[in-house]
Structure 1
Amino acid sequence: MSVQENAFTGFANPVDPTPAELRSWAYQPDSVSLSAMPTDWDLLVSGDQLIGTLADLALDPRCPARRFALHCLYIYAADTVRTNFRAHPKRRLRKLVEQAESRGDDVNRQWAYNTRMLIARPELFNYHDWCEGGLVRNPRKLGA
């Protein structure tokens, strides 16, 4: 039985979900609305522990929470670059970008492009675009 066939039963601790809980929620997102989650939940889950799971979810066009996962990837990339690679390892971000470029569709490749642009030109950072979902709601290539 795949994760997609399992019914989501909730988070043991929504502030610190496991990768399996996050994956299960992503395929049953209506079972727990984002409004019921802790404030800034997107910021809480956009760390090293869950970024691989979020990247997998963003790569899956069938995932109901794909846009949320992509939003979290934007947060992760911005946090990585804005802290000059102190918050998260540069090699991990580079791996995520390469994965999005090689396995992703247009949405993922655009995230990868924008992340490469931000690495090259950190002044392109805009909190609304990168951390509040602006680039997910209004997709565009930065610096183009």
Structure 2
Amino acid sequence: MSVQDSAFRGFANPVDPSPAELRAWAYEPDSVPLHTMPKDWDLLVSGDRLITTLFDLAMDRSCPARRFALHCLYIYAADGIRTKFQAHPKRRLRKLVEQAERQGDEQMAIWAHNTRMLQARPELFDYRDWCEGGLVRQARRLG
């Protein structure tokens, strides 16, 4: 039995999961329900170390935790833009946005559009939309 064939058994440290653990959980999210995770877990994992993994998960239409990954992308984008890229590199966010525009489906295209809109007009930031999942639950293009 390979490592991929075995069931996900949890995080060694849920506050600081590895990319492999996050990916494994994302394909078996019921193995460790979100409500059992540390408070603000979405904010904790939405950093530079895991953003590539989260992006890949959000791009995968078959990923059971895709909405969670997309939610984390909104947090990451808002955090970078609102801190004038002190929190996250501008270049990394730009590359993710460009890749979402080129290869993503409608949900990813909306995320890319909204990220560009927030960068152009920071007053569009609304905590509920960007950090509490509003733009994932009710997908819409900001104007």
Indicate the TM-score class for this superposition, using the shorter chain for normalisation: over 0.9
Task: Tell me which stretches of 4 or more aligned residues in structure 1 moved more than 2 Å.
Answer: none
- Tell whether 2:97 aligns with 1:107: no
Hey, what does 1:122 align to over in structure 2?
Answer: 122
C-alpha separation between the residues in 1 aligned to 2:99 and 2:47? 18
Normalising by structure 1, what TM-score? 0.96
Normalising by structure 2, what TM-score? 0.97
**Cα distance, 1:7 vs structure 2:** 1.3
Percent sequence identity over aligned pairs? 74
For residues 77-96 of structure 1, the aligned pairs below 5 Å read 77-96=77-96
> After superposition, what is the alpha-carbon deviation per residue over 1:73-97, rounded to whole angstroms, capped at 9, x for unaligned?
0000000000011000000000110
Hey, what does 2:13 align to over in structure 1?
Answer: 13
Aligned in 2, Cα 1:102/1:2: closer, same or farther, shift over 3 Å?
A: farther
> After superposition, what is the alpha-carbon deviation per residue over 1:57-108, rounded to whole angstroms, capped at 9, x for unaligned?
0000000000000000000000000001100000000011011111110000
Query: Aligned Cα RMSD in Å?
Result: 1.1
For 1:81, what is the secondary structure of its paired residue? helix
Hey, what does 2:54 align to over in structure 1?
Answer: 54
C-alpha separation between the residues in 2 aligned to 1:7 and 1:80? 34
Name the amino acid aligned to 2:46.
Answer: S
Which blocks of at least 5 consecutive residues in structure 2 are unaligned? none
Name the amino acid aligned to 1:56.
Answer: D
C-alpha separation between the residues in 1 aligned to 2:123 and 2:89? 20
C-alpha separation between the residues in 2 aligned to 1:101 and 1:57? 16
**Cα distance, 1:2 vs structure 2:** 8.3
8 Å CA contact retained: 1:6, 1:24: no
> After superposition, what is the alpha-carbon deviation per residue over 1:6-48, rounded to whole angstroms, capped at 9, x for unaligned?
4111100000000000000000000000011000000000000
Hey, what does 1:71 align to over in structure 2?
Answer: 71
8 Å CA contact retained: 1:74, 1:111: yes
- Tell whether 2:21 aligns with 1:25: no
